[in-house]
Structure formats: structure tokens, C-alpha cells
């Protein structure tokens, strides 16, 4: 998390990663990435956490 980043809501993250909001909620309830933060009742994601999660799942078929 970087303090100068503007946090994203679950709708924005779902659009960025190509998941339905319900799938993102399900992942959150199962304790799966991406990392999220609670601000009161609101759920927020930081772009650097979302990017890190996506990069961790990157597969380079040439390198394998």
C-alpha cells in the first residue's frame, strides 16, 4: 500500500481484473487475494496490491 495511491472500490477492481463483483466478494470471503482493506463498512483495494496479485499469477510459457 502506498499512501499516495487512491484506493479503489470493489466495482472498479472487478472491472480492471475482468471479474464479476460477486466473484471478487466470494474470493474475499474465502480469504483469497487480492489484499483488501476495511474502512468502516467499506471495502477498498489499493492499485499496487491489485497489480501485485495480477503479476503473481503471470505465466510466461517461454520461460517454462
Q: In this prediction, what percent of the chain has a pLDDT beyond 90?
A: 80
Q: Tell me the pLDDT tens digit for each residue of 43-62.
A: 999 999 999 999 999 888 88
Q: How far is CA 56 from the centre of its chain?
A: 12
Q: Tell me the pLDDT tens digit for each residue of 2-32.
A: 678 999 999 999 999 999 999 999 999 999 9
The span from the CA of 47 to the CA of 16, in Å, is 10
| Cis previous bond, 34, omega within 30 | yes
The residues near 16 (Cβ < 8 Å, ≥ 6 apart) are: 8, 50
- Give the pLDDT of residue 1: 61
Q: In this prediction, what percent of the chain has a pLDDT beyond 70?
A: 94
Q: Look at residues 18, 19, 22, 24 and name the one whose alpha carbon lies nearest to residue 36.
A: 24
Query: What's this model's pTM, rounded to 2 decimal places?
Result: 0.84
- Give the pLDDT of residue 62: 85
Amino acid at each position: 500500500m502506498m499512501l499516495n495511491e487512491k484506493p479503489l472500490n470493489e466495482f472498479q477492481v472487478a472491472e480492471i481484473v475482468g471479474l464479476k463483483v460477486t466473484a471478487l466478494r466470494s474470493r474475499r470471503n474465502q480469504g483469497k487475494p487480492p489484499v483488501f482493506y476495511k474502512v468502516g463498512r467499506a471495502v477498498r483495494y489499493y492499485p499496487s496490491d491489485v497489480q501485485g496479485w495480477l503479476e503473481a499469477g503471470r505465466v510466461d510459457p517461454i520461460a517454462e
